[in-house]
Chains A and B, each alone.
Chain A
């Protein structure tokens, strides 16, 4: 009896980076295998090799004991491999049925069997509890529903091995529960499931067995019943990393005051009547599913957009709306959501990126025309040391930094001026454990010295651990910020899905 799926010594290199290092792994029928590892550990690369997006440099993959043709998505699909990618591969302007049937019929047929396809889709949806309207346009569906379409796509093609890449990253806690129920019923019907994640509690809840990847290599495979979160964390990170803890502090005077802020437009990404006050010595978190107005709020507070109604005050003075330079000068430190796109200019040198926010400061500018490079470089050297940015020095190209070190650069730039308000938008996304602990401890240090901090995150665990008060954003509206811990995760999840507290009671 062959295992359904077997990796034999799979190795993949990108330049000098070894993304997968001789990975050998098996998967049995009806089993849910969790693939655990930090960002950059090689989980997605391994699955992309299985699905034919990449070709392995060494090793082979066997399905039912037969070698899978490398580099061919078609071969993987034919062999029964179905993948739900982290970023959905759906066309929003097309219907569920069209998205599902693409590639299932011979391209050179004169007509499409839509009737048969619809029947098959509906019966699959019913038997797995994945209710979805075949004629709905995909862009009209919620993220959870879109994920169901992705699973249906795989099932429609008679997948026997279902792979889900970080499937809960975009879901509310309730949607995640529903997904877990689906995965249970799918595996009971005989499919083998690979569940990729770095969230330990999910893995403990859903999997039969856990395979742990670290820096591309398989460091261990354990039965879920014989391990616990702490052991898995240590296996994943390679050492015991403790995240810093929030110590209670008395809140000081109000630093940031938002009163009835609205931005133009009526979509979910615009702000509607947002009010919030953050005091000194306080971290306030905003939870929410991506795309519910968090980005717009961050834009307002960063000074990137000026067209809004309502009032924003920093230390009692109105925010210099629409002028990033004045916003920074008024004591705002900004950690943007997307390091690469908005945080740094990758092609410029480290000292230039470090100097980019206060170019007009008297020490840095010579008569507002020339830059005092000597000062910029020497300050950069100090900051590199102080914030432990691992690099070749101030003249190294910024894009060569790892994610964690790039984030340290941004922290150095944002925090060196001792800002009284810090906007931290997804500050630890995509970082490894060591870097996460570093970023979080820097934020806690700033809180200790008296800064007010707004932490926007999609990771509820992070918010629960790191904030004094927590508000939920949904469709551009912000709930009241209550002390963290006064609402349960389930309540917060429902609020993320757009239900107000009153509706929940009713």
Chain B
């Protein structure tokens, strides 16, 4: 037990937690935006892979880091558009399309990677985002190392939480997005194009997901290899439910999960791995299932989630 407290008191544990949480924040916010508009996006796992590959590749081919982030976001938006064409415009199953997008996007990423770098044996590296020191704050003892020794992309992730909250809950376009996820007929009746709102939301959400993937290859590690998203997309899907579709709670859930992951790595080292690491990998799902059981009656989930909208249909 004292081992555990020792770990929680080290600045390194907190620094790792905040690094681990960044891609989850991007992914969870992205999924949250899609689902708030009424579209489940199970393409997230593949879209994160696309982001990880394309952002990294941009830099590897000589582009600059922020250009890589933008490129990844654009590629994510493109796959979001694909998802939206199938689910929003054609009204097809969101589950089936999402799984299809994940399979297609992941495989395409690996294919393009291999095509551009056919002979690489050890994964080639780029110079990733470096930690951004913030005057005064980064020099604080303990806190400086724990919280203020992160890369610019991490700070961006954290800033995105209030930004997404503000747009969703304080602007007219955010109201339209939320209404599209609650009752698309109401959106149509107020003279707003539901299909456009949903398509836009899915594209923006997918761009977020892709940036989450890009974080992993451009800020956390410095290379792209196969299977590196490793289920993080699915974790984001679970975290959205855990968060009851609220950005602030999504941050809390993601922090909780990231903390557990950082803890398990350290606990394995110090406690001799008396708990299998798979147990920790399982935790966010258990958390989500428990959250769903306890909140099932109270949660205000988007009422039109998974429900396609067809204009001018006889009702």
Chain A interface residues toward B at CB < 8 A: 14, 51, 53-55, 72-74, 76-78, 83, 85, 87, 89-94, 98-99, 101-112, 153
Q: Is the CB of B303 within 8 A of A14?
A: no
B167 to chain A, nearest CB (A): 9
Q: Is the CB of A89 within 8 A of B170?
A: no
Q: What are the residues of chain B within 8 A of A93 when measuring CB–CB?
A: 182, 300, 302-303
B50 to chain A, nearest CB (A): 28
Q: Is B179 an interface residue (CB 8 A)?
A: yes
Q: Is the CB of A107 within 8 A of B186?
A: no
- Asked if A91 meets B176 with Cβ closer than 8 Å, knowing A74-B191, A85-B189, A102-B187, the reply is no
Identity of the chain B residue whose Cβ is nearest the Cβ of A82 in the assembled complex: B189
Report the bound CA distance from A55 to B178 in whole Å: 28
Q: Is the CB of B182 within 8 A of A111?
A: no
Q: Is the CB of B192 within 8 A of A103?
A: yes
Report the bound CA distance from A98 to B192 in whole Å: 15
Q: What are the residues of chain A within 8 A of B183 when measuring CB–CB?
A: 89-92
Q: Is the CB of B185 within 8 A of A89?
A: yes
Q: What are the residues of chain A within 8 A of B175 when measuring CB–CB?
A: 94, 98, 101-102, 112
CB pairs A–B below 8 angstroms (7 shown): A53-B188, A92-B303, A101-B172, A102-B186, A102-B190, A103-B191, A109-B171
Mark interface residues in B168-210 (1 if CB within 8 Å of A CB, else 0).
0011110110110011011111111000000000000000000
A494 to chain B, nearest CB (A): 31
- Asked if A111 meets B171 with Cβ closer than 8 Å, knowing A93-B300, A102-B192, the reply is yes
Q: Is the CB of B303 within 8 A of A103?
A: no
Identity of the chain A residue whose Cβ is nearest the Cβ of B197 in the assembled complex: A107
Chain B interface residues toward A at CB < 8 A: 170-173, 175-176, 178-179, 182-183, 185-192, 300, 302-303, 311-312, 314-315
- Asked if A92 meets B173 with Cβ closer than 8 Å, knowing A73-B189, A74-B191, A107-B192, the reply is no
Q: What are the residues of chain A within 8 A of B185 when measuring CB–CB?
A: 85, 87, 89
Q: Is the CB of B190 within 8 A of A112?
A: no
* Highest count of chain A CB atoms <10 Å: which of B186, B303, B311: B186
Q: What are the residues of chain B within 8 A of A72 when measuring CB–CB?
A: 191
Report the bound CA distance from A130 to B274 in whole Å: 66
Q: Is the CB of B312 within 8 A of A53?
A: yes
B186 to chain A, nearest CB (A): 4
Report the bound CA distance from A85 to B315 in whole Å: 11
Of B176, B186, B188, B303, which is within 8 A of A99 by CB? B186
- Asked if A94 meets B178 with Cβ closer than 8 Å, knowing A14-B314, A53-B312, A112-B172, the reply is yes
Q: What are the residues of chain A within 8 A of B187 when measuring CB–CB?
A: 102-103
Q: What are the residues of chain A within 8 A of B312 when measuring CB–CB?
A: 53-55
Known: A87-B185, A89-B188. 8 other contacts (CB 8 A): A73-B191, A89-B186, A89-B189, A91-B182, A93-B303, A98-B175, A102-B172, A103-B187
